[in-house]
Chain A
């Protein structure tokens, strides 16, 4: 068993880190949201990897197949994707309102403006 065998988990970690980095380091609110999305996507991949069964077929009952992938993580992650979409939509809507109220969507400039 080498480290490469679990390459999907390495991808998950790489995505997670780049997402978190964008989230923290970027001042632009839209970029922050993009970072958030990358971060969430990494978790979706994590779940899907967990559900994967080597040589398993899609979880649809069919004759001659006795090994299926686990469908539950997929279902869960569908829910999580919906939640993610809602979050992004709300975040974008807020960004639009912030732009309207402040004339900028840069985090540092927002702090500089007093009320």
Chain B
């Protein structure tokens, strides 16, 4: 069943076009990776889907309803967004940060149910031991898990992630990706992830779209999108793509035309 449909979306910042004719379809329990060079419009696409930005043309349908017709608060119960890096955040315990994710569901007092949800999410991400620690004392990888927990306690149907693995060591990269994959399967969430690491994208995504200057250059399963030709055209990089257990593995060789 189609959960999310992005139809002919166009977006420009003060007449500089960022997105042109972007169409995406995503079903529940599906994980889509958006790849492309810097400035290709990956983050802008995520922001449009969460209505942080409003596209000038086209529409975005969530369960066949136009998101423009859904109130902010209602949308917040359906779409969770984990932006790239955080501006320094105020001092708060991990528990309280995750509790903030319950915002769309609570009025003023948090209920027993909210507490239970927070505990459940902390357990899911295996960060219970940090619950009472201050978030600013944690490492980058641990903080990222806290923010994922924050978005999950929102109980969204669609999860948007902007570079969830940037600044993380390889162990945390894999942990975070495994967690996301598991959540997508178990909670039947649809996830869209903007990501730079082509190998992580190839390994975890069900579908990949490759963007180039605001347009979708190629879309499909990892094998059909991550080809040497596409990578050369979009990134200007010569590469070798190998097959690792049915998933492509990319080894970049050199920038095209660079001596």
Mutual binders A and B: no
- Contact surface of A with B, Cβ cutoff 8 Å: none
